[in-house]
Structures are given as structure tokens and as C-alpha cells.
Amino acid sequence: MKRRSTQSRPGPRRPRRSGRWLLRGALVGALLCGPLATAAWAITKDNVIQMHQSGLPAQVIIQTIQSTGSTFNLSVDDVKALEAAGVPKEVIDAMTASGAPAPAPEPAPEPAPEPAPPPVGEGGPDELERLREMEEAERRRIEEDARIREAARKAAARERERMAAEERRRVARALDQARNALEDGRYATAAREFGTFLAQAEEGKASTHEAQLGLADALYNLKLYANAAERYQALLAAGPESDVFEPAFRGLRRSARVIAYNPVTLEAMTNYFVGDKSREFQDSYNYFLGKFFFDYNRYDEARTYLGEVSPGGPDYADAQYLLGLVGVQEAGEDEESDEWARRLIGASQNFEQAVGAALQEDQQRIAHLGYLALARIAYTVGLFDVAIFYYRKVPYDSTSYVNALHESGWSYFLKGDTARGTGIFHTLDGPDWKNYFLPDIYLLEATVFMNNCHFEYAHDSLKRIEDRYLALKQPLTRFITEHASPEALYNAFVLDQTQPGVELPHLLRMAVISNAEFYDLYTTVTQYRREVARINDQRDGLGEELAVQLLETVTSRKQEGIIALGIKINQLLQQLSDELDELEIQVTEVRIEIDEIEAIEIEKQIEETYRGPSEEEAEAEAQATATVLVGDKYVTWPFEGEYWSDEINNYRSDLKDVCKR
């Protein structure tokens, strides 16, 4: 479908359709000028059927029969024909009452033929008088015809007005009751009243749109977010000219903050022109569409809409952060290309804008994510000091802290500061972070020990990898195999419906739960489950008919969410399985290296035995006795499990190099 920017010009409006009463009025005029305009001024049975089929109310047809003085002698077949045509009973009764069957009169004798009138100009005064009488009769006939048409028009207008007034009173009463319930906080009652009104309402009317918005607001306040979002989105089809367009969009955004509501049908919002709305509304609208396209990996369209969000608004920091992620995705992995560097520079600028705006708006989460993103770009291009600078800006109480601390340890290690790098990895092996899946800290630790010829410690590190992580491979494989479908994975992982002996180890479960995409999907499905329970609890207040509709909507959404969540769990578990496979290979490689280097060191020690150590070597060996301890042998926790954020990054390992050079 072709997308149209929200800043484009609106297209031409469609002409409005003529009112249906104009058509009916034309049909009435045609009827009155046709068969009713006979010398007898009578309405026939067929005329009545035509008036009914043209849409005239029963009262108008009756008034027309009475005003024309028409009488009917209906046979049984005539009545059947009228009923078959759908003519109302009150009209048939009025026709029957206008005349009764009577015996046919005796045929009168044939009158003698009157003499033909003399030719014009030869009849004298009598002929002129006869012509004047004919003209007068024709004039009276025309006037009577006009009077009948006017009487019918007025009668129809009065009936229309009466019906419209009655409809307005009914609508006002129904909407007032629903509005009052909504304002008083009686949300279930309000939802029921709005639902009852909508069951009888005509599509497209302003009152119908108002009732739909009121129902959505009532559902949102009942925490029925899936149903509220569905109705808010449906209201957007009324178009930007509608009074309900802006409040419906705001309601949709409120709902989408609670549940991950992002169906593909939201793309229809690109068809609406909102360039004449307020700047605040345009920013919100463009951010919402930009995030929609970002979630579906449609980065060109995401960039178009996110780039329209103006500085200073509440969505600007989020928009810049997403634009930075778009730049990183588009950069790819070809580190030799100029395009790769250009994209990363652009992404860095977006992240800097995001951090600045987030700090001004006190949006700490976006600021921390921005720091983390800037650090990762610096790490990627080898600017480790810059990476460490940004990593250290992520505070201890941030949800991004562990990632920042872990990655900063690698930055120290790769820049050659193994003391700080190892100190940070030792810190992460402490009790506060025992539930985090960080196997590479042991792998790096083993490498450092190996490079400094502490082979016993290196083997201890590899043993911890095997006991803590590689031992998870078998139960993980069994869990994935046992629960092959998305629904089975959901039931096993979320609802704990699994067989004895195939439980997922706690460390792997925590690794899945810490994933942001899993968290969004999980909270959404949880909200759907709660929504089903709330509808059942409010069933009496909502009314059976509305409750059934609401349950149908949320049940469908919940099932879709369960499938999506099951797929995400499978993806994350497969990633963990791949990581463990790779880890096993790395452990084997490091163990071989340790054995090789250890063999070389043994040869050096044998050689030294014959010639004796030098003074420098003896001094180095004496200093090496104060080595860093491993596992429960190397960490002393000074604050009983609590750490100051300004001290953790300063931990250092006092490991000494004892290799024979």
C-alpha cells in the first residue's frame, strides 16, 4: 500500500450524497402528477403501493388518501396484493374504511348522442362561454393538483420532523445516561449503556462516534486494554476531520504503553493527513508510526516518521534513540566500508541528541540506554577509553548497569589494563549478580591466569565454566525437545506445566527473563489473561451481550500473544544453546593452550634447576606469592553484598606475572 507522509497535502473531498428524502419527495411529486391527476382525482391501489415503496411513512399515505377523497372497494385479492407489497396494516384499514362494497347498479339506458358542437367561430356566444368554462375547470384542476402536492409535502415534512425529534430525544437520553455513568466512575455501567446504544445506532453519525469513544474510554478505565485499543483504532477510520480522531489516537497511545499493541493494520494510519493539527499532536503521531515501522524492521519508513518529531517535545529523546538504532542496523558489519563508518557516526549523533534531550526531560531510562549505545559504538571502532567513559556514566541503580559493567571489563582488557578488567570480572562473580548469564568472565579469567602462568588457577576457571554453564547443555536440550510448539513452550516456561525431569535450570530461565523483547511480550500476554478474568468478574455489570463481544476480542489477542511469546522463548533458548556450544569449543581451545604454555614453563624450570635462578627471577618469584584468589579464594566482599557505584569500577586484580622469561 502506498504510504503518504503526514505532512502531505490532503486530497479532494468526495461530494456528499443527497438526502434520501429528496428522492422520496420526487417520487411523491411523480405520483401526484401522474395517476392522481385524472378527472376523478382518485388514488388507486397501485398508487398506494408505489407511495409505500418510495418510503413515505404510513401517516403521510393516509393523509393523502383522505385529502384526495379517494375511496376503495377492496376485494380479497386486492388486500392480499397490498399485504404482499408490505403496505402497513393501518393504511389498508384506511383504504377499507373509505368505501364499502355495494351491489352493482342497474345499467342505465344508453343516452342519445349529443349533437357535435359547431366549429369554432360558428357557435356564437355559447361557444365562447363553453371555452371559458373549460379554461376555468382546467385552472381549478391545476390549483387542486398543486394543493394536493403541497398538502402531501407538508404532511411528509411534519412526519419527518416528528421522527427526527423523537430520534434526537432518544439519542440524547441514551447518551446522557452513559456519559453520566462514565463521569461518575461507574465504568461497567457506562460500557453497557454505550454498548446498548451502539447496537441500534447508524454507522457514520456523530452520535455513533461519540458512543464508540465513550465505550473505549470506559473499557480503558476498566483496564480492558486490548478491547479499548481495538475500539480506539477503529475510530481513527472516521478521519482527521472527525471530532473523535484526536482523542481516539491519544487513547490508542495510552493503551499501547500498557500492552505491546502493534498490529499490522496500524499501517492504515499513514493514509491520514495531520499536518493541520497541533505540533504536539503531529510529534506524537509521527513517533507512533515511526516506532511501528521500526518494530517491523522497515527502517526507511521508520526514519521518515521519526525524523519529523521536533526537538523539545516529550517524544524527541525516544525518537532520536530509535534513529540511532536504525543507523546501527543499516551500518551492517562490513567494517572496511566508508558507509559503515558514516552510518555509525550518524548513529552516534542521534544517541548524543537522545541523551541530551532525555536529561532535560528527566527521562533517565533513555539517557542510560543512550550512554550504553555510545559506549558500544566506541568499543566497536576500538576507542576503548571513550567506551569506558560512557560505560561509567550508567549508574548502579540502572537496569543497564550490569551490561555496562561487564562490557567495560572487556574494554579494560582489550586496551591492555588486565588488572582493572579482571577486577571487574571478579566483581561480577559476586553474590549480587549470581543470576546473570555471564560465562565469558570465567573464560577471560582463565586466559589471564594462563598468560601469567598461574596454570592451576586457569584450570580452576575452566572447571567453573564446566560446572556452572556447560552442565546446563543437557537439560536445556531436553527442555527444547520436549516442548516443540510455541504453545507448549509458553505453558512450560510461563505456566510451569512441564514433566518432572525436564525443568529449565534457573540460570537459563533468568537469562530469558532479562531479555527486553521477552519482557514486553510477557507483560502483554499477562495483561490479556487478566483482562479475561476482569470481564468475567464484571459480566453482570457489562451485560451478557457486551461481555461476550469483549471476551471474543481479548481471547483472540491472547492466543496471538501466546504464539508470539512462545516463538520468542524458543529463539532465546536456541541462542543460549548456541552460546553454550561455542563456549564448549572455547574451553577446549583454552585448555589446549594452557597445556602447551605449561609444558614450555616446565622446560624452563628444568633448565633453571641446572643453572639456578638469577637475583631478578628470585625477587619476582617472592613477589608472586600475593596472588589473586580464585572463586571463594580471591574475593573479599567489603560491604556485605552492597557496593558503592564509585568503587566497583575501581576494583583491580593484584595478579602477578610468574612466567619464566
**Residue 7 pLDDT:** 41
Domain over 222-435 is classified CATH 1.10.4080.10: no
Q: pTM of whole model > 0.75?
A: no
- pLDDT for 250 beyond 80: yes
Distances (CA, A) of 102 to 42, 71, 75, 521: 18, 13, 12, 83
Tell me: the pLDDT tens digits for 40-52?
346 888 888 888 8
**Residue 401 pLDDT:** 92
Higher pLDDT: 609 or 375? It is: 375
Higher pLDDT: 198 or 629? It is: 198
Instruction: Return the minimum-mean-pLDDT range out of 430-439, 473-482, 623-632, 638-647.
Output: 623-632
Tell me: the pLDDT tens digits for 563-606?
999 999 999 999 999 999 999 999 999 999 888 887 887 777 66
* Residue intervals in the chain for CATH 1.25.40.10: 222-435
Q: What percent of the chain lies above the pLDDT cut of 90?
A: 49
Q: Reduced to 3 states, what is the DSSP secondary structure of residue 296?
A: coil
**Residue 339 pLDDT:** 85
Nearest to 300 by CA among 3, 6, 516: 3
CB 434 within 8 A of CB 574: no
Mean local confidence (pLDDT), 218-239 = 96
**What value does the mean pLDDT of the chain take?**
82
- pLDDT for 68 beyond 80: no
- pLDDT bracket for residue 341 (50, 70, 90): confident
The residue count of the chain comes to: 661
- pLDDT for 325 beyond 90: yes
Report the C-alpha gap between 227 and 251 in whole angstroms. 12
Report the C-alpha gap between 545 and 557 in whole angstroms. 19
Residue 659 exposed, middle or buried by CB count within 10 Å (0-12, 13-18, 19+): middle
Mean local confidence (pLDDT), 626-639 = 36
- pLDDT for 633 beyond 70: no
402-411 contacts at long range (C-beta below 8 A, 24 or more positions apart): 402/428, 402/433, 402/436, 403/372, 404/371, 404/372, 404/375, 405/648, 405/649, 406/438, 406/441, 407/375, 407/376, 407/379, 408/375, 408/649, 409/441, 409/444, 410/379, 410/444, 411/375, 411/379, 411/384, 411/387
- pLDDT for 113 beyond 80: no
Report the C-alpha gap between 252 and 231 in whole angstroms. 9
CA 46-47-53 angle, 5° bins: 90
Residue 395 exposed, middle or buried by CB count within 10 Å (0-12, 13-18, 19+): middle
- pLDDT for 184 beyond 80: yes
Q: Reduced to 3 states, what is the DSSP secondary structure of residue 240?
A: coil
**Residue 654 pLDDT:** 56
CB 72 within 8 A of CB 95: yes
